[in-house]
Amino acid sequence: MIRKVLAANRGEIAIRIFTTLREMGIHTVAVYTDPDAHALHVRSADESIRIESYLQPDEIVSAARQAGADAIHPGYGFLSENTSLSTACEAAGITFIGPRTDTIRRMGDKLESKRLMEKAGVPVVPSWDRNPHDSEFPVLVKAVGGGGGKGMRLVEEPSQLAEAKAAASREAGKAFGDDRVFVEKYVRNPRHIEFQILGDAHGNAVHVFERECSIQRRHQKVIEETPSPALTPGLRARMGDAAVAAAKAVGYVNAGTVEFIVGPDGRFYFLEMNTRLQVEHPVTEMTTGLDLVREQIRIAEGNPLSFTQSDLRQTGHSIECRIYAEVPEEQFRPDIGTVAVYRPPSGAGVRLDSGIEENSEVGFHYDPMLAKLVVWAGSRSQAIHKMQRALSEFVLLGVRNNIDFLHRVISHPEFGEGKIDTHFLERHSALLRPATEEVPVEALLAASLSSARTPAVTGSATAAFTDVWTSGPWRIS
Amino acid sequence: MIRKVLAANRGEIAIRIFTTLREMGIHTVAVYTDPDAHALHVRSADESIRIESYLQPDEIVSAARQAGADAIHPGYGFLSENTSLSTACEAAGITFIGPRTDTIRRMGDKLESKRLMEKAGVPVVPSWDRNPHDSEFPVLVKAVGGGGGKGMRLVEEPSQLAEAKAAASREAGKAFGDDRVFVEKYVRNPRHIEFQILGDAHGNAVHVFERECSIQRRHQKVIEETPSPALTPGLRARMGDAAVAAAKAVGYVNAGTVEFIVGPDGRFYFLEMNTRLQVEHPVTEMTTGLDLVREQIRIAEGNPLSFTQSDLRQTGHSIECRIYAEVPEEQFRPDIGTVAVYRPPSGAGVRLDSGIEENSEVGFHYDPMLAKLVVWAGSRSQAIHKMQRALSEFVLLGVRNNIDFLHRVISHPEFGEGKIDTHFLERHSALLRPATEEVPVEALLAASLSSARTPAVTGSATAAFTDVWTSGPWRIS
Amino acid sequence: MTGRELHWNKGASETQVRIEESGGHGIFHIGEQAIPFVVRGQGWLEVNGRNIRYYVHRDRNEYSIWIDGRTYRLTRIQKGAHALEQAGGASGEVRALMPGKVLRVEVAVGDTVKERQPVVIMESMKMESSLPAPKAGAVIAIECAPGQIVEMGTLLVTIE
Amino acid sequence: MTGRELHWNKGASETQVRIEESGGHGIFHIGEQAIPFVVRGQGWLEVNGRNIRYYVHRDRNEYSIWIDGRTYRLTRIQKGAHALEQAGGASGEVRALMPGKVLRVEVAVGDTVKERQPVVIMESMKMESSLPAPKAGAVIAIECAPGQIVEMGTLLVTIE
């Protein structure tokens, strides 16, 4: 039995973990660095311990020792997929709420994990030392010795392959001192579809269906949903089987995710395995009724899974939007400031996992994700309408954010038709700015009423100092 | 197709109706009286119209005409079960989102509805003109001519019946000038269990399972849940069949509720039929995935139900707590004031249907219900833990309320065991006050820090004037 | 470091406290106890290594304090003074606790009443509430009538 | 009833408005339009019979207005003045848009740069962002180095 858990994380995920722990009657411990001294996650725990960095496993483990915590939940990011924390936990006799160190290590090595999956019969992106069959085109020529795009060539036609290999080989030789190249399948306009898995220490493993995570910016997910509009029941079953095979191949214990890319032809390939709870886990919870953190705790306590694959069902449709402190209109640059007005939406089918409240400070030290807005409805189109409703009710002022941008994305006709892949935002770059820059007359009126009796500030100073004069709705006096 | 709907109501239910309408792309119209001029429900609609009273059907209908609304949703309370509104709608050619006038009338007459249900084979509380069989005891002797407890006797044993009838007859003769009495079954410690029904204009009717509403104070529900801990699958099926029979007996169109009382022996009796959406409808939505307001709109548009009985399933467990502006410790007297701090809970499995926000005014003109806190979890015990978590996170200052009381009720061991009936709060009257009145030292410290530099007010004035000096967390300056 | 002295009233008992604070660190004196604390930020205290998130709302001398999932109520009083409400309660005055309508007056001038006996029935927010006699005695004045709308604090009945 | 005159800047265009208000009722003059409005309460307007719920946050002369589900940004300016930000932008100064770490300086003193060419790469909140040259010209000063932590508004590079 776990009685006290330290969350080695911050923001919304630390708070989300504490929430389940509190419902299970387990005591909670937060850690925080100096910039987070006043953060909401610290106030949400029973007790808290100051540390220098979320990236120092020794510090985390001694904080757990000091608080008398018998387990550590790593959340996502930071040390969650780093064997140094799981190893330090083992040495200290503290339960690490995650997979075995050996699993983290093997899945962290992208080449080893690919070899292992191939052996287990999980499809991986095919590659050839010599020439592939004509039907496999387009292909990529890649350098054995390095990456970063150097020595890489996209080849559309078999006739162009020889020349491309020669050019890539010359480039690779110059760049890496190794002119060997190989040929890999090129998946055009892929979707990113991942499967949630759960495994226990008794050898049982199940998948908890998929999450479609194709809407990305800067290679980071922005909107996730389940079920994927791209999967037929047959394809879902085959991918689910592959995910379970992947879990069993490494004797996976706890919650993890098997990431696939899926081509427009419906062929899928193993990409990597994430050995932790994902940011987007709520959409799985909304459609299956599971509490994945609760399952993680129960597995870490040594319990067998309390269900089998056939007990699990997908019901309805769920979408998650990540609320970032960033300016999509300015290349998604992050913004900082004080949350002056915070009125998140509520009501039927709306879930909010938030790391902030009114008056929270958003600094530049950590990830700019502030909250996750999640909806559930009976169908995909109803879920989109619910998300539109929820986003248009969400008031967040004081820190620039992507709420209006998210509304534009989910309102795009091709999003509505489920025509999404990882290049969606590049293809629809018009979404980066509003259709019209025009400010409605009512907004000018509201601003004019609020500017009341104070004069405009003059002078040449850059207007970049955050000096909050008013917050909340302006009071008519 | 309905394109614009006026909600003839206020508070959380008007807002909840607007929410679904907005998700369906239907325009929204609010009505408001002078005390509600600044209420949240008015600001939540696309447009709003001032009226003198929520109880004047002609005013409501002319407001709908003025706004060009093609339908009226009555919500609950006010005119929702009054044929005057549905009749006025018919006359004006406006769709009334509810059952036919004839149904409202017949179900509003408690004697006619009982006769009609008896004829349809729905069990009603048995009564006898002469003497019941010995096995039917305890029984009530009741006066034919009147009510209010006069001429009423509870009889435990058959041997006491003759004397009780004679005494009751004398009392009734004096009180009502009519000494006739009859004998009715007495259900001791009954549960209040109701079934949601949906019927369409094409003759289809289904039930959407039960709601257990036994926790009541002043004959008003406080906590509702589904599934009922008292129902076996067999009893649920029989009661569901009875509810559908009741719906079909009156050709029920739209959403309604069949209320039963259930004895400790598992026998159930028709009590009445509510011809409207219930306050507690969210627990049904949480466990079935339906949006009952959406179904109401679709039925009012003339669509057939899009599912049959066998398509409907109950999943998990849901509990609703009604947040009232009242003081349970002082005989549940209502309180008024300004909502100075409002931080409702959020996160996984928590739904809030709220009629207020920070700075809302709570007056004495209308019902003191402020919001409904609803949770969903995989099992009843998990749902109780989630509700405990949510209530203990709910910050509401400025208006006295029942949040702490609700926490005490759901934390009671007998509530946890599902041992609830309509006398629960009478039996456990200790719940009306906290187990200890002691103020923790931390609360004294927080108050002392907040009282900072201002002197205590002196003098003999009653400290009963609401003059809000600070709101929100006190700022350390 | 003399600090501020404050007096609180909860129910019948009076509590005297002293608070010493400098730069966010302080000591809270209550009875024989001296409790160190740290002001961690707006609405956030640290006491004995435990985080305490709180909200305080003040309405004149009445304080509501949300802390650890419960709301407490305290009245701030002058040193040695009785709580204002108590002082009022002992006076034999029956006042409206909130705005509303007088439904019934259950006594007549000259009646003898027992303590806690219902004197006036009011309706507020569609609910009836009964105002009890604050002490035993004789009704000497009735200053309201059924149907009358009254403000909060209005004197309705006096008992002597 | 002369009212207040205000000047707003959105992007490149300047808008002059006049607001007349008395007792919650008023007229808003913008261009040729005269729009009657009612102040219904805190954060709530009525314009042409439509309820408008709004929130305004002000940071110096920068206003964020949430209205009808979207957030708009406006800069309040003196009559006839250019927007402050624009004035700064034309000066050839490259400043840190937020606090963070300088990762790389992509130019050297004496280099000729094109408008919008990346000059400095910074890291803030674990993300890289590139600061472009505000105009074409020659780099005349570099006042930062890779690895350096800089405050918001710090002058990093000057272009002439």
Angstroms from A404 CA to nearest CA on chain B: 17
Phi, psi of C126 (to 5 degrees): 65, 15
B439 interfacial to chain C (CB closer than 8 Å):
yes
Q: Does B305 touch chain A (CB under 8 A)?
A: no
Provide, as residue numbers in chain D, all residues whose Cβ is less than 8 Å from the Cβ of A468. Answer: 57-59
State the smallest CA–CA distance between residue A241 and chain C in angstroms.
Answer: 45
Residue B150 sits at the chain A interface (C-beta within 8 Å) = no
Residue showing tokens 């005014």:
B361
D-chain CB neighbours of B45 within 8 Å are 51
Task: At C12, list the tokens.
Answer: 């019948």
Note whether B345 and A348 are within 8 A (CB): no
Confirm or reject contact between D70 and chain B (CB < 8 A): no
For residue B190, give the DSSP letter: -
Residue-wise pLDDT tens digits, A331-390 = 899 999 999 999 999 999 999 999 999 889 999 899 999 999 999 999 999 999 999 999
Cα–Cα dist D29/D16, whole Å: 9
Across the interface, whether the CB atoms of B346 and A343 are under 8 A apart is answered: no
Q: Is C42 on the interface with A (CB under 8 A)?
A: yes
Query: Which residues are within 8 A (CB) of D96 and not within 5 positions of it... i.e. 6 or more apart?
Result: D122, D131, D150, D151, D152, D153, D154, D156
DSSP per residue, B351-407 = EEEES--TT-EE-SSS--EEEEEEEEESSHHHHHHHHHHHHHH-EEESS--SHHHHH
The minimum CA-CA distance between C124 and chain B, rounded to whole Å, is 5
Q: Are B155 and B131 spatial neighbours (Cβ–Cβ below 8 Å)?
A: no
Helix A380-393 to helix A403-410 angle (10° resolution) is 160
Q: State the Cα–Cα distance between residues A287 and B282, nearest whole angstrom.
A: 18
Q: What is the pLDDT of residue D4?
A: 84
Q: Are C79 and C7 spatial neighbours (Cβ–Cβ below 8 Å)?
A: yes
Cα A444 to its chain centre, rounded Å, is: 37
Q: Which of 121-150 (C) contact B at CB < 8 A?
A: 124-127, 129-130
Beta-strand (E) ranges in A254-383?
254-262, 268-274, 317-324, 326-327, 333-334, 337-338, 341-343, 350-354, 361-362, 369-377
Which CATH code, of 3.40.980.10, 3.30.1490.20, 3.40.50.20, 3.90.950.10, is assigned to B4-97? 3.40.50.20
> Can you spell out the DSSP letters for B123-138?
-B--EESSPPPGGG-S
B139-143: strand order across its sheet: B127-128, B181-185, B139-143, B153-155
| Chain C and chain D touch, per 3+ beta carbon pairs within 8 A | no
Whether residue A447 lies within 8 A of chain C, CB to CB, comes out as: no
pLDDT band for position D127 (cuts 50, 70, 90): low
Which residue is it, tokens 């020595």? A151
Query: What would the two tokens of residue B275 be?
Result: 């011809």
Inter-axis angle of helices A11-23 and B380-393, to 10 degrees?
120
Chain A residues with beta carbon closer than 8 angstroms to that of D44: 473
* Residue A276 tokens, joined: 């932790």
Burial call A172-206: b when 16+ CB within 10 Å, e when fewer: bbebbeebebbbbbbbeebbbbbbbbbbbeeebbb
Distance from CA of A184 to the nearest CA of D (A): 30
Name the token pair of C98.
């909130």
Q: Which of B153, B191, B236, B276 is catalytic?
A: B276
Coil, helix or strand at residue B417: coil
Listed by number, the residues of chain C in 103-122 with a beta carbon closer than 8 Å to a beta carbon of chain B are none
pLDDT digit of tens for each residue in chain B (477 aa)?
999 999 999 999 999 999 999 999 999 999 999 999 989 999 899 999 999 999 999 999 999 999 999 999 999 999 999 999 999 999 999 999 999 999 999 998 878 898 999 999 999 998 887 889 998 899 989 888 766 667 788 999 999 999 999 999 998 888 888 888 889 899 988 999 999 999 999 999 999 999 999 999 888 899 999 999 999 999 999 999 999 999 999 999 999 999 999 999 999 999 999 999 999 999 999 999 999 999 999 999 999 999 999 999 999 999 999 999 999 998 899 999 999 999 999 999 999 999 999 889 999 899 999 999 999 999 999 999 999 999 999 999 999 999 999 999 999 999 999 999 999 999 999 999 888 878 999 999 999 988 864 444 433 222 222 222 222 333 222
DSSP state of A325: S
Judge whether B67 is closer than 8 Å to chain D, CB to CB.
no
**Minimal CA separation from C16 to chain B, in Å:** 10
Q: Do D53 and B45 touch (CB under 8 A)?
A: no
Q: Residue D146, CB half-sphere, CA atoms under 13 Å: how many?
A: 8
Round to whole Å and give the CA distance between B136 and A137.
84
Q: What are phi and psi of D13, to 5 degrees?
A: -95, 145
Which comes out higher in pLDDT, residue C102 or B5? B5
CB contact under 8 A, C51 and A359: no
Coil/strand/helix, residue A146: coil
Q: Identify the structural domains of chain C with CATH numbers, from first to last.
A: 2-83 (3.30.700.30), 88-159 (2.40.50.100)
Q: Residue B234: enclosing H or E segment and its boundaries?
A: helix B233-249
Provide, as residue numbers in chain A, all residues whose Cβ is less than 8 Å from the Cβ of C68: none
- Rounded Cα–Cα distance for residues B293 and B285 (Å): 10
Asked if B340 has any chain C CB less than 8 Å from its own CB, the reply is: yes
Inter-chain CB pairs, A–C, below 8 Å: 20
pTM, 2 dp:
0.84
C71 contacts on B by Cβ (under 8 Å)? 396-397, 403-404
> How far is CA B85 from each of CA A260, A268, B58, B77, B199, rounded to the nearest angstrom?
57, 59, 8, 12, 20
Q: C50 and A43 in contact by Cβ < 8 A?
A: no
Instruction: Tell me how far apart the alpha carbons of residues A278 and A276 are, in angstroms, rounded to a whole number.
Output: 6
B324: CB partners within 8 A, 6+ apart: B222, B332, B334, B368, B369, B370, B401, B402
CATH fold of A191-432 = D-amino Acid Aminotransferase; Chain A, domain 1 (3.30.470)
Q: Would the CB atoms of C54 and B340 count as touching at under 8 Å?
A: no
Model pLDDT, residue B144: 80
Closest CA to A12 of A26, A27, A30, A24: A30
Binary contact (B442, C59; C-beta < 8 A): no
**Which phi and psi (to 5°) does residue A323 adopt?**
-90, 110
Task: Please report, for residues B126, B159, B168, the alpha-carbon distance to residue B133 in angstroms, rounded to integers and kept in the order given.
Answer: 12, 12, 20
CA distance C99 to C117: 21
The encoded tokens of residue B420 equal: 């609830």
Q: Convert the pLDDT of each residue in A317-343 to its tens digit.
A: 999 999 999 999 988 999 999 999 999
Q: Which two tokens stand for residue B312?
A: 């409907």
C127 falls in which pLDDT band (50, 70, 90)? Answer: low
Q: Is C152 helix (H, G, I), strand (E, B) or coil?
A: coil
- The 10s digit of each residue's pLDDT in A166-188 is 999 998 888 888 888 889 899 98
Spatial CB neighbours of C92, under 8 Å, sequence gap ≥ 6: C134, C135, C137, C158, C159, C160
Measured between alpha carbons, how far is A58 from B4 in angstroms, rounded to an integer? 62
Q: Which residue in A158, A170, A110 sits closest to A130, CA to CA?
A: A158
Residue C24 touches chain A, beta carbons under 8 Å: no
Does the N-terminal peptide bond of residue D134 adopt cis geometry, omega within 30 degrees of 0? Answer: no
Cβ contact, residue pair D45, A442, below 8 Å: yes
Contacts of D53 in chain B (CB under 8 A): 43-44
Q: Which residues of D touch A78 (CB under 8 A)?
A: none
Cα dist. B321→B77, B223, B341, B352, C11 in Å? Answer: 18, 5, 19, 10, 28
Measure the CA angle with vertex A379, ends A377 and A381; round to 5°: 100
Window B:346-365, CB contacts with A under 8 Å:
346-354, 357, 359
Q: How many CA atoms lie within 13 A of B414 on its CB side?
A: 12
Report CB contact under 8 Å: A43, C51.
Answer: yes
Buried/exposed B197-235: b ≥16 CB within 10 Å, e otherwise: bbbbeeebbbbbbbbbbbbbbeeebbbbbbbbbbbeeeb
pLDDT-derived band at C155 (thresholds 50, 70, 90) equals: confident
Instruction: Please report which confidence band the pLDDT of residue D80 belongs to, taking 50, 70 and 90 as the band edges.
Output: low
- Which tens digit of pLDDT belongs to each residue from A453-477? 444 443 322 222 222 223 233 322 2
Structural domain boundaries in chain B: 4-97, 126-185, 191-432, 441-471
Residue C2, pLDDT score? 52
Question: How many interface pairs between B and D have CB atoms less than 8 angstroms apart?
Answer: 20
CA distance B229 to B215: 13
The whole-angstrom separation of Cα B185 and Cα B126 is: 6
Give Cα separations from A398 to A355, A361, A447, D153 (angstroms). 15, 10, 15, 18
Cβ pair B462:C153 closer than 8 A? yes
Q: What is the ipTM of this complex?
A: 0.82
pLDDT of residue D13: 79
- Inform me whether the C-beta atom of residue A361 falls under 8 Å from chain C C-beta atoms: no
Predicted pLDDT at C48: 83
Report the C-alpha dihedral over residues A147, A150, A156, A160, rounded to 10 degrees. -130
Q: What is the pLDDT of residue B209?
A: 98
Chains in contact with chain B (at least 3 beta-carbon pairs closer than 8 A): A, C, D
In this complex, which chains have at least 3 CB pairs below 8 Å with chain D? Answer: A, B
Q: Using CB atoms, pick whichever of A315, A348, A377 lies closest to residue B282.
A: A348
How far apart, in whole angstroms, are the C-alpha atoms of residue D96 and residue D120? 9
Catalytic residue among A16, A217, A276, A380: A276
Q: Which CATH number fits domain A126-185: 3.30.2400.10, 3.30.1490.20, 3.40.50.1580, 2.60.40.10?
A: 3.30.1490.20
Give how far A278 is from chain C: nearest CA, Å: 28
pLDDT value, residue A148: 64
**Residue A175's pLDDT is what?**
81
Instruction: Let me know if A400 is a catalytic residue.
Output: no
Poorest-pLDDT segment among A38-47, A109-118, A226-235, B448-457: B448-457
Average pLDDT over residues A67-87: 96
- The two beta strands, A317-324 and A369-377, are antiparallel
Q: Cα(C151)–Cα(A124) distance, rounded to whole angstroms?
A: 77
Nearest to C59 among B332, B365, B466 (CB): B466
Least confident range of B179-188, D50-59, D79-88, D116-125: D79-88
